[in-house]
């Protein structure tokens, strides 16, 4: 059984650029959540995807968007990057018959630096 895998592990972008981060769910998991973790802070919820539909969103602007694919893998896209977007982006998967009930398993994250 493979865990949650994320790519790339590190990347550097400049302000105004766009970035796509990728996540492969743990085997058998149907729900993916994305979190942003700024340095020295706890993770903050961005959004969750369940059965390829967005199932809830945190306090993030529309330039943060996502997708979930039929194999339950997921992408996080961020447009018009700002310096404050520099953070560790965490993907978490869970197996939920109903959203909000599953235990979350986190990947190791993608470290984004915006210059």
Partner 1 sequence: QQQVKQSPQSLIVQKGGISIINCAYENTAFDYFPWYQQFPGKGPALLIAIRPDVSEKKEGRFTISFNKSAKQFSLHIMDSQPGDSATYFCAARRGGSEKLVFGKGTKLTVNP
66 is an interface residue for partner 1 by CB under 8 A? no
Residue found under tokens 């769910």: 25
Phi, then psi, of 83 in degrees rounded to 5: -55, -40
44 is an interface residue for partner 1 by CB under 8 A? yes
Could you report how far apart the first and last alpha carbons of the chain are, in Å? 37
Contacting residue, 45, 52, 86, 95, with partner 1 by CB under 8 A: 45
Q: What angle do CA 4, 85, 70 make, to 5 degrees?
A: 35
Give the bridge partners for 91, in sequence order: 34
Dihedral of CA 44/31/65/15: which sign?
Answer: positive
Contacting residue, 11, 13, 52, 58, with partner 1 by CB under 8 A: 58
Q: Contact region for partner 1 (CB under 8 A) — 14-22, 34-42, 66-74, 75-83? A: 34-42
Residue found under tokens 């059965």: 51
Q: Contact region for partner 1 (CB under 8 A) — 12-20, 60-68, 69-77, 106-114? A: 106-114
Contacting residue, 18, 27, 41, 113, with partner 1 by CB under 8 A: 41
Q: Please tell me whether residue 83 adopts helix, strand or coil conformation.
A: helix
Contacting residue, 24, 30, 48, 74, with partner 1 by CB under 8 A: 48
Please report, as ranges, the residues that interact with partner 1 according to CB under 8 A: 4, 31, 33, 35, 40-45, 48, 50, 55-56, 58, 90, 92, 98-101, 103-109
């Amino acid at each position: 059984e493979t865990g949650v895998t994320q790519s790339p592990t590190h990347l550097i972008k400049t302000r105004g650029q766009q970035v796509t981060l990728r996540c492969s769910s743990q085997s058998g998991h149907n729900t993916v959540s994305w979190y942003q973790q700024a340095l020295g802070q706890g993770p903050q919820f961005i959004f969750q995807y369940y059965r390829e539909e967005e199932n809830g969103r945190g306090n993030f602007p529309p330039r943060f968007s996502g997708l979930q694919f039929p194999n339950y893998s997921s992408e996080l896209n961020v447009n018009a990057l700002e310096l404050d977007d520099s953070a560790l982006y965490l993907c978490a998967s869970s197996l939920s018959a109903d959203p909000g009930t599953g235990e979350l398993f986190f990947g190791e994250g993608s470290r984004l630096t915006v210059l």
